[in-house]
Amino acid sequence: MTTDGQRNAPDGVDVVALGESMVTFLPTRPGRLADVPSFERGIGGAESNVACVLAAAGHSARWVSRVGADGFGDHLVETIGSYGVDVTAVRRDPARPTGIYFRTAGDRATDTHEVAYYRAGSAASAMAVGNTDLDAVRAGRVLHLSGITAALSESCLELMRELTALRAGRPLVSFDVNHRPGLWQHADGPQELLELARRVDLVFVGEDEAEEVWGLHGAHAVRAAFPDPETLVVKQGGRGATVFAKDDVTFVPAPRVDVVAAVGAGDAFAAGFLSATLRGLPLKARVRHGHLTAAAALAVPGDLAPPPARAHADRLAALDDGTWETLRLGPGWTQAEQAPEEVRTP
């Protein structure tokens, strides 16, 4: 396997992302779910988020999933499709509903944050090897997956095992660990995630996540546990990210960001890194593009944010180390025209 992103896809699709998306209900004001009188509808899904950002960045992207034959399923397919994502391989399930969830307006890191999921028995949880268009899934240059799908059901776990199996002609398989302990129905989740991650080409994992799931301390300990993937990206929050590729180890600091909402940044980082990978950019530039796309998500209130224009991101990613480390990005930075407007010393 190679992580240069240059292999040809049979139908010209750059990235295929497989996973559950749900309709999200976001409160119109702060407060407990019990007190919020109304909500605004949105969409949420790690894999579809990546597909939407990549499509907005000019890549061809396909989302593969299963939704109910209901209005919420219609909304998901239509909204994700409106980003330019190919949704023709999404299956409709007449017997199971589309998953939904409600959340409070507060920061997800606080104790007051509430999330109410209604996804048990969802259409996506019924995804299986036998009811998924595997040709459509494998048709991209990159296949992006996450650990969320593996936790949904035994049939989803079997599908993930099939898609990560080593076989001739397999696309580059990207895997975001995305550990969700509340979704796993048994205690084997950490081991299942470990085994899946060891079978792929590119892994994204948070340093704090690796410590929580496997008791691994530090980026090098994570690499020791994941020696097989050609590329391993250990995200280290606001400090930056360490990427391991063959014998190369590179730490790339993150720019300072005036955070509006800490949601969607992980998916955006993966999308930025994958975009740069598809373009064959050097490793350091791939991480910087991940940081920049994450910064675009952090500077808006929702899960999805338009990525910076390619030329804009390329210019910032090419800054010398000293200037990069003084970079500070706030709301509206993706519309800034000149670097002096963006680069500010603390």
111 noted as active-site residue: no
d(CA 91, CA 93): 7
Whether the Cβ atoms of residue 252 and residue 241 lie closer than 8 Å to each other: yes
**Nearest Cα residue to 236 out of 315, 227, 216:** 216
172-176 sheet: strands from edge to edge: 61-64, 15-18, 142-146, 172-176, 202-206, 231-235, 240-245, 248-253
**Nearest Cα residue to 231 out of 269, 203, 199, 206:** 203
Catalytic residue among 201, 267, 303, 321: 267
User: Tell me, what DSSP letter sits at residue 40?
Assistant: E
Whether the Cβ atoms of residue 200 and residue 227 lie closer than 8 Å to each other: no
d(CA 102, CA 41): 9
Question: Cβ contacts of residue 161 below 8 Å, gap of 6+?
Answer: 196
**Nearest Cα residue to 148 out of 157, 139, 137, 138:** 157
Phi first, then psi: what are they for 37, rounded to 5°? -85, -20
H/E run at residue 163 = helix 154-164
Task: Provide the token pair at 324.
Answer: 């990069």
Residue 344 to residues 278, 314, 324, 325, Cα–Cα distance (Å): 31, 19, 10, 10
Whether the Cβ atoms of residue 203 and residue 171 lie closer than 8 Å to each other: no
Active site residues per annotation:
267
